[in-house]
Amino acid sequence: MNFCNSNHASKVIDRQALDNLFGVLRSQSYTLFGPKVSDQAIVYDEIQATDDLPIGWTDEQDAGSYRLKKRDDQALFGYVVGPHSLKKYLFPPAQRLWQVSRDGEQIKLSPEPEDVVKRAFIAIRSCELHAMAIQAQVFTGGEFVDSTYDSRSRNTFTLAVNCGQAGNTCFCTSMNTGPEVTAGFDLALTEILDGARHEFLVEIGTELGAEVLNAVDFRDAEPEDQQTAKEIVNRATGQMGRSVDTTDIKDLLTRNHGNTRWDEVAERCLSCANCTMVCPTCFCSTVEDVTDLSGDNAERWRRWDSCFTMDFSYIAGGNVRTSTKSRYRQWMTHKLATWHDQFGTSGCVGCGRCITWCPVAIDITEEVAAIRRTDVAGATEPLKRGA
């Protein structure tokens, strides 16, 4: 994927051309993954055509609440992000790393073959693209490259979508990650739906994107098309459901380890780990070895884990974070503060998933605001093991 941020050329296509574009991708051996209605939510799944998209659906989100609702139009992209993120494709929830088998005296170790599936990600939002860039930095940006992530992210095509509306739990504008798609895409759409008019402004981000677009009918974008698309994104910016003041946030959280607000949030937090599972940037994992009953075959699997589980922080004979308070504080402080030390960016893209999918409606933006209100500036309480 190309992360260039140049001035992108713009074209306009209609619904039929968008369908044809999906066909072009399929003819180039891409498997398409995009939004789909399933189990009363909009999730990412394999799709074939625009008919598979959540046409005429929207989502209503709030802290601890998610509902699908019918729209009064046939918008293809009239909703925001659901519980899934692209990490399920690039960093799967369960991934076999290697297998080993014994045949008499012979031991055969077989590493998992390289993933060569070509994936086209459809209708990807700006916050999601930023999350992908953050995970790419975590998995492939350092000295040791994660080969699974690397191979899975190599053969991808990204068809992004500018948000035309924002959800109640969105705060991407605070994190400078949206709602306008600016980089990291092959093609980016803005859906223009006005009465009988149903078209898509398409920005070209890469040569690969231009090549795919060239295979379908389009017209050059007029200045009015560009203006309409701009107004659509501005509307989403104006609808942002939440915000967070990120001023000096790293120091704010670092110096507030002893703030009593952590005790208050810990009284509500169930340590269920939902927030980390839905977060598109969380990357904690564990490994598990399994054998069959003969004892001749074994496999090592990597599975998503969470800093909210007791096992995850068990180190050398003891648990370093025994309390819910210490685990919630670790999660939020890592996301918004120490992530900067480790990876040079925030670990949060403001997608709001952790707010929507928290069963007790804990809201990261509210927690930051509460810490800011009760800032214990200058306090230097030392951290205690498991506190």
Q: For 372, phi and psi rounded to 5 degrees? A: -65, -40
Find the shortest distance in angstroms from Cβ 209 to ligand SF4: 26
Find the shortest distance in angstroms from Cβ 135 to ligand SF4: 11
Q: Are 128 and 44 in contact (CB under 8 A)?
A: no
Closer residue to ligand SF4 in complex, CB, 8/125 = 125
Q: Determine if 350 is a binding residue for ligand SF4 (CB under 6 A).
A: yes
Cis peptide before 223 (omega within 30 of 0): no
User: What is the number of residues in the chain?
Assistant: 387
Q: Can you tell me which of 174, 259, 274, 285 binds ligand SF4, judged by CB under 6 A?
A: 274
Q: Determine if 266 is a binding residue for ligand SF4 (CB under 6 A).
A: no
Q: Determine if 43 is a binding residue for ligand SF4 (CB under 6 A).
A: no
**Could you tell me the end-to-end alpha-carbon distance of the chain, in angstroms, rounded to an integer?**
43
Q: Can you tell me which of 358, 363, 368, 371 binds ligand SF4, judged by CB under 6 A?
A: 358
Q: Can you tell me which of 151, 226, 228, 271 binds ligand SF4, judged by CB under 6 A?
A: 271
- Taking CB under 6 A as the criterion, which residues in 56-75 touch ligand SF4? none
Closest CA to 158 of 34, 308, 322, 310: 34
Q: Determine if 351 is a binding residue for ligand SF4 (CB under 6 A).
A: yes
Give Cα 182 to chain centroid, integer Å: 16
Q: Determine if 349 is a binding residue for ligand SF4 (CB under 6 A).
A: yes
Closest CA to 374 of 252, 247, 248: 252
Closest CA to 236 of 14, 77, 367, 363: 77
Q: Apex CA 382: angle with CA 376 and CA 384, to 5°?
A: 120
CA distance readout (Å), 378 to 251, 367, 373: 10, 20, 14
Q: Determine if 279 is a binding residue for ligand SF4 (CB under 6 A).
A: yes
Greatest CA span in the chain, whole angstroms? 74
Find the shortest distance in angstroms from Cβ 107 to ligand SF4: 41
Closer residue to ligand SF4 in complex, CB, 8/334 = 334
One-letter amino acid for residue 372 of the chain: R
Residues 299-318 as x/- pattern, contact with ligand SF4 by CB under 6 A:
---------x----------
Q: Are 68 and 42 in contact (CB under 8 A)?
A: yes
Q: Can you tell me which of 59, 189, 335, 368 binds ligand SF4, judged by CB under 6 A?
A: 335
Q: Determine if 90 is a binding residue for ligand SF4 (CB under 6 A).
A: no
Closer residue to ligand SF4 in complex, CB, 140/271 = 271
Residues that bind ligand SF4 (CB under 6 A): 269-275, 278-281, 308, 335, 348-354, 358-360, 362, 364
